[in-house]
Amino acid sequence: MALPSSSSINSQAKYDVFLSFRGEDTRDNFTSHLYAALCRKQIKTFIDYDGLKRGDEISPVLLKAIEESKISIIILSKDYADSKWCLDELAKIIECKNMNGQMVIPIFYHVNPSDVRKQTGSFENAFVIHEKCFKELKEKIQRWKDALTEASNLSGWDSMMIRPDSKLVEETVKDVLKKLNYRSPSSHWKDLVGIDSHIEKVVSLLCIGSLDFRVGLNEKKSYKEVNNMEEKAVTV
């Protein structure tokens, strides 16, 4: 099945970024700094402030927010896999990546990417507990493991390689801006081939700032004459 184009994904998106993180690990430190930095760049970011109030199942609101985001950032921290809600988010993110072409950025925050990929270390310990508590959910647990493996194979950022956290935040925001292809209005004009001649014609027709134009208005040029000038400018 063909994936939708990036333009169709963008047109359906409500958020630029969805943040997936383990609240107890990073909510009040790295994640809060990253969220603030994204907001300063006017990047519309979904963050779950009610993570500690969740019920047994992941909220439909969260699932919808993931679906409606252009990029998902997964902050893989030491106890990320302890939370089945985080793992459900991750599985949904990977599903959206594979089905809809959603962009995904993993951040390995104080964890070894190999532990995430192979579910060793703290991630192994988390799954030992999950397999004991959710014996009837073998397929779901395997889906979580597969999602972790796939996420760890994506291009992302390693906090052990980029220090301090402020630098990691800066690099992540740059990456997001690049992926969103954000550009200032001025840069659009500079890249348009042949735009200068068209701008000159418009200015010439409108006689912006010229004495003749001001005198013409003072002499009460007819509305029809002025309107004709505007129409010419629009059709340039």
Active site residues: 89
Burial 62-97 (b: 16+ CB within 10 A, else e): bbebbbebbbbbbbbbbbbbbbbbbbbbbbbbbbbb
With 0-12 CB in 10 A as exposed, 13-18 as middle and 19+ as buried, what is 116?
A: buried
Cβ atoms 92, 63 nearer than 8 A: yes
User: Cα torsion at 22, 25, 26, 28 (round to 10°)?
Assistant: 120
For 45, residues 6+ apart whose C-beta sits below 8 A from its C-beta are 15, 16, 17, 18, 19, 35, 38, 39
- CA pair distance 137, 149, nearest whole angstrom: 19
